[in-house]
Amino acid sequence: MNPNEKTLADFEARVRQMILQFQELKEENGRLQTLIVEQATEIEELKARVTQADNDYNSLKMARMLEITDGNLVDAKEHLARMIRQVNKCIAILSDEQ
């Protein structure tokens, strides 16, 4: 085998190696892209669940505060009066600080 044939054979071998490496990297890239899409979808679903849970919590909190039945109408009025007094105290404290 003369030097040109040896150089050509080495070049062919390296090109084949590069092609195989390229194909492996291309497959890995495809897997990673799929993983990114799956994770983005999961993130969106989790964000929606968090938003729904937050809305449910706020609704429940509001319903709990405004829950008035025949037996606790007086308690509800007292609770609202206490809340109003607390808000007024906070306003007074803030007014004094300025």
Report whether pLDDT(98) > 70.
no
**pLDDT band at 66, cuts 50/70/90?**
low
My answer on whether 38 and 57 are in the same domain is: yes
My answer on whether 27 and 54 are in the same domain is: yes
My answer on whether 97 and 61 are in the same domain is: no
My answer on whether 80 and 61 are in the same domain is: no
> Could you tell me the residue range of the domain that residue 90 belongs to?
68-98
My answer on whether 3 and 48 are in the same domain is: yes
Can you give the pLDDT at residue 49?
A: 94
My answer on whether 1 and 31 are in the same domain is: yes
Can you give the pLDDT at residue 62?
A: 77
Window from 2-6, 61-65, 82-86 with minimum mean pLDDT: 61-65
My answer on whether 72 and 39 are in the same domain is: no
Half-sphere exposure of 33 (CA within 13 A, CB side): 6
**pLDDT band at 67, cuts 50/70/90?**
low
Contact 13/20 with Cβ under 8 angstroms? no
My answer on whether 98 and 73 are in the same domain is: yes
**pLDDT band at 96, cuts 50/70/90?**
confident
Q: Quick one: average pLDDT of 27-41?
A: 97
Q: Provide the number of structural domains found in the chain.
A: 2
Report whether pLDDT(68) > 80.
no
> For tokens 């206490």, what's the residue?
82
Distance CA 17, CA 78 (A): 81
My answer on whether 27 and 55 are in the same domain is: yes
My answer on whether 62 and 76 are in the same domain is: no
